[in-house]
Amino acid sequence: MPDRPRGRSGTIAILTGIGILAVGVGIIAAAALWNGHLMSLYGATSAWVGILFVLGWAVCLLGSAVFSVGLLASFVIASGASARSRAASARDLEGERIVP
């Protein structure tokens, strides 16, 4: 059974983090539009606008955290792969030295 391709989990986490971050930005934009609409109609705003802003920022922070973990995982996986590659190259070189 073939091994699972390496590095895929880091890429998935990075893309997921970007998606979550985009949702957070969308929530903040919706809150800003709603705030502008309420201010133009009534000259006042609602507590829900503040709640949406806080929710949007929380979602943005979550997206940033997921993105950072994915980036870190990609670097860790890549460094492990390069270390395995160097070890395999060293074994190949040792094999060439032993067998003329």
Per-residue pLDDT reduced to its tens digit, 62-100: 999 999 888 888 777 767 666 666 666 666 555 555 544
The pair of three-digit structure tokens given for residue 49, joined into one six-digit string: 């606008």
> Rounded CA gap, 97 and 85, in Å?
18
Query: pLDDT at position 38, please?
Result: 84
Report yes or no: 17 and 67 within 8 Å, Cβ to Cβ. Answer: yes
For residue 3, being part of any structural domain is answered with: no
Structural domain harbouring 65: 8-98
DSSP 8-state secondary structure symbol assigned to residue 43: S
Residue 1 placed within a domain: no
Is residue 53, in this structure, part of any structural domain at all?
yes
The tally of domains found in the chain comes to 1
Does 90 reside within a domain? yes
Higher confidence at residue 98 or residue 47?
A: 47
